[in-house]
Amino acid sequence: MLKAKITLKDIARELEVSISTVSKALKNSEEISRDTKEKVQAFARLYNYKPNNIAISLKNKRTKNIGVVIPDIVHHFFTTVIRGIEKYANARGYNVIVCLSEESFDKEVINMEMLANGSIDGFIMSLSSETQQKGDYNHLKEVTEQGIPVVLFDRITNEIECDKVVIDDELGAYMATKKLIEQGRKKIALITTDDYLSVSKARTVGYKKALTEMGIGVDESKILKLPTMEMDEAGIKSFLETQKLDAVLCVNEIFAVYSMRLAQKSGLRIPEDISFIGFTDGVLSKYANPSLTVVAQHGEKMGEMSAQMLIDKVESEEDEETYQTKILEPTLVIRDSIVH
Amino acid sequence: MLKAKITLKDIARELEVSISTVSKALKNSEEISRDTKEKVQAFARLYNYKPNNIAISLKNKRTKNIGVVIPDIVHHFFTTVIRGIEKYANARGYNVIVCLSEESFDKEVINMEMLANGSIDGFIMSLSSETQQKGDYNHLKEVTEQGIPVVLFDRITNEIECDKVVIDDELGAYMATKKLIEQGRKKIALITTDDYLSVSKARTVGYKKALTEMGIGVDESKILKLPTMEMDEAGIKSFLETQKLDAVLCVNEIFAVYSMRLAQKSGLRIPEDISFIGFTDGVLSKYANPSLTVVAQHGEKMGEMSAQMLIDKVESEEDEETYQTKILEPTLVIRDSIVH
DNA sequence: TATTAACACGAAACCGTTTTCGTTTGATAT
DNA sequence: ATATCAAACGAAAACGGTTTCGTGTTAATA
């Protein structure tokens, strides 16, 4: 019943040849005679021989694994990124090890240390919020100094020299805000998180830029910063009511969908009285009522590109010290939460 | 700049002792003198020595990796399961390699083969729909015959002997249907997928059982089977309208939220005119309008339990041929899509 | 017939650890 | 002085491959 996997040594013993002969025969080496090759290959096929990955990894110091460290997996955006990474990596024969930092600096560090000792050929990661708050990137420094390639996506830092993939968050917010203004909206709010997240910061800049450029001006009291992801019903509701808004830009889809519901409860019609635009083109936006216009971040594309950059670097012999930052353009996905 | 990681051999050479002495010294072996141990440990700390995982894996034939093969990752349920697995596994020092079958039999097979050659200590998986349709489980058989532990969750088969974790889907559907009936609903529809998915089948059974038990009887024309996940707007709408329903049970939250919207468009009020209950307690249910009552599947718990069962088996010396199936009880999460 | 080259294969090193089993040294007991 | 023993360490095998560098045999060439 329990048939353990067979090794080169086993084949060699059975066929009374040396291990090296078996190894070469299986690789169809010219060195080995037709006869022997056929014999070995037939035997290997019969007993379903498959080389041991670990042994190969040890030998050529390549694991064909890539480590992905992200803050959370129960977020549509990250999920799509993983899918993009997995698809691309798999196509090139790589496996994906997923580690969750859960927005914790310590877990991020521990995860990286666990993987950095030979388990993976490179990292793809998005920084935890705590890491971005602390501004401590020594764990990344150590890894890159060891010569392990790293690709940072979305939540990045420019304190580390490595390949990066981001979407132009500023542009996304700018596009969204401009769209609202062009539709005649003037009292446009922004609901965001605290500034420590690089993406939130960039989106705030884009929002302000559009307002300024279009001659409306920034009203700081129209910017609501939510410290956590816990929805503060009373706070948001009073914000929506006291500000007399006609449009709201939210930095994610949860904020947007939740705010929409509160607005509806207050008797506002969407989009007639008030428009909403969010970030992240997830299931929530698609199936919300009304469906939510969003700035799409193209997570899957992002994952794919990250994986490509990483694997290219891993497989390139020369260790060029040249890094690039790919900036993806966001797209506005128009749905029923704005007039159109 | 580029400081490659240091090995036992390096330490041995620098300190002019043997590799074995270094190895033992680092493990605080009694065999080694105080002096030597201190010297070695200090040196190792200074140069940040970390043992190479691959070498260790090769030696003790344990990778401390577990392979997770699931149909899709962009589904809230699977995402939460992964999180549960990752959290538990990480706490016990294991890493998680995620592979997506994308509902394809071939990909499932390929993924398992990739991992089964030493990369992982065991599998946690949920079958692809194609696999369940074909009923071909040879890839699972091969793996278990090799002595690699497998834990199946959610989409399982009883053709394979291994540990399993499921929620009682039949009970979940039964509970939901009964709840609707108790609230006076009589024309209760079921929107489901084709029967090949083990979960859909079980849910249909529970739905029918409740109807029968409560003396309402099953009306097959009130069961809508959607062949794909592509939403068929016209089909669903006409189904809702022609059947004169007062309640709908859906096998997932997308079906439910989508149907709710169509019902609303038809002028129906939820839950006054028609109630909805779905499966999967995801973001969609929570933020839908009205929020959706669902049968919660406790994905994270499921992942956690799967990981526990797997790791326990992996680490147990004796290969007991005894397998268990854990059945989790679903919970009804009451929200605004039904009266309450 | 002697030399050489091609052919087919094996021995052994290596990847980085762990671990078993010596071996050396000095001290103690006889 | 010799046998005994413990302490402290090293050599080597093992995990499962890959790969370099022989080496013996045969066939072709001078």
Asked if the Cβ–Cβ distance from A83 to B96 is below 8 Å, we say no
Q: Sketch the domain layout of chain A as residue ranges.
A: 8-51, 63-166+299-327, 169-297
CATH architecture of B169-297: 3-Layer(aba) Sandwich (3.40)
Query: With 90 as the cut, is the pLDDT of residue A180 above it?
Result: yes
Q: Which amino acid is it at A317?
A: E
Which residues of chain A neighbour B264 with C-beta distances below 8 Å? Answer: 289
Instruction: At B167, give phi and psi (nearest 5°).
Output: -100, 160
Percent of chain A whose pLDDT exceeds 70: 99
SS3 content of chain B, % helix, strand, coil (to 5): 45, 15, 40
**B57/C24 CA-to-C1' distance in Å:** 33
Residues 63-102 of B with CB under 8 A from A: 63, 65, 73-74, 76, 79-80, 82-83, 86-87, 90, 93, 95-100
Omega before A290 cis (within 30°)? Answer: yes
Q: Which residues pair with A109 in a beta bridge?
A: none
Q: For A70, name the nearest residue in chain B, comparing CA atoms only.
A: B83
Rounded Cα–Cα distance for residues B79 and B154 (Å): 13
Query: pLDDT tens track of chain B, all 340 residues?
Result: 567 899 999 999 999 999 999 999 999 999 999 999 999 999 999 999 999 999 999 999 999 999 999 999 998 999 999 999 999 999 999 999 999 999 999 999 999 999 999 999 999 999 999 999 999 999 999 999 999 999 999 999 999 999 999 999 999 999 999 999 999 999 999 999 987 788 899 999 999 999 999 999 999 999 999 988 888 889 999 999 898 899 999 999 999 999 999 999 899 999 999 999 999 999 999 999 899 999 999 999 999 999 999 999 999 966 678 999 999 999 999 999 999 8
Q: Hunting for tokens 């970390």 — which residue is that?
A: B50
The reported pLDDT for the residue numbered B198 is 83
Write out which nucleotides of chain D lie closer than 7 A to a protein Cβ. 7-12, 14-21
Burial of B100 by CB count in 10 Å (0-12 exposed, 13-18 middle, 19+ buried)? buried
**A338/C7 CA-to-C1' distance in Å:** 78
| pLDDT band for position A195 (cuts 50, 70, 90) | confident
User: Which residue did the predictor score with more confidence, A194 or B193?
Assistant: B193
A-B C-beta contacts closer than 8 Å:
152
Q: Hunting for tokens 């999460």 — which residue is that?
A: B333
Q: For A51, name the nearest residue in chain B, comparing CA atoms only.
A: B117
Is the minimum distance from the CB of A27 to strand D below 7 Å?
Answer: yes
| pLDDT band for position A289 (cuts 50, 70, 90) | confident
Rounded Cα–Cα distance for residues A289 and A66 (Å): 39
Strands across the sheet containing A275-279: A223-226, A188-193, A247-250, A275-279, A293-296, A331-333
Asked if the Cβ–Cβ distance from A86 to B96 is below 8 Å, we say no
Q: Is A63-166+299-327's fold the same as A169-297's?
A: yes
A74 touches B82 (CB < 8 A): no
Q: B3 CB near a chain A CB, below 8 Å? A: yes
Q: Which residue is nearest to nucleotide D7 (CA to C1')?
A: B31
Asked if the Cβ–Cβ distance from B100 to A87 is below 8 Å, we say yes
B15 touches B43 (CB < 8 A): yes
Rounded Cα–Cα distance for residues A235 and B337 (Å): 25
Q: Which CATH number fits domain B64-167+299-329: 2.30.29.30, 3.40.50.2300, 3.40.1080.10, 3.40.50.300?
A: 3.40.50.2300
Q: Provide the 3-class DSSP secondary structure of residue B148.
A: coil
User: What is the token pair recorded at B280?
Assistant: 């999967």
User: pTM for this one?
Assistant: 0.93
The reported pLDDT for the residue numbered A31 is 94
Distance of CA A301 to the CA centre of its chain: 9
pLDDT average, residue stretch A28-47: 96
Q: A50 CB near a chain B CB, below 8 Å? A: yes
**B241/D15 CA-to-C1' distance in Å:** 67
Mutate to test the interface with A, among B48, B57, B63, B78 (most CBs of A within 10 A): B57
> Looking at the partner chain, which of B54, B283, B319 has a beta carbon nearest the beta carbon of A118?
B54
**B46/C17 CA-to-C1' distance in Å:** 20
Percent of chain A whose pLDDT exceeds 90: 90
Q: B205 CB near a chain A CB, below 8 Å? A: no
Q: A160 CB near a chain B CB, below 8 Å? A: no
Distance of CA B302 to the CA centre of its chain: 7
CATH code for A63-166+299-327?
3.40.50.2300
> Looking at the partner chain, which of B90, B118, B319 has a beta carbon nearest the beta carbon of A52?
B118
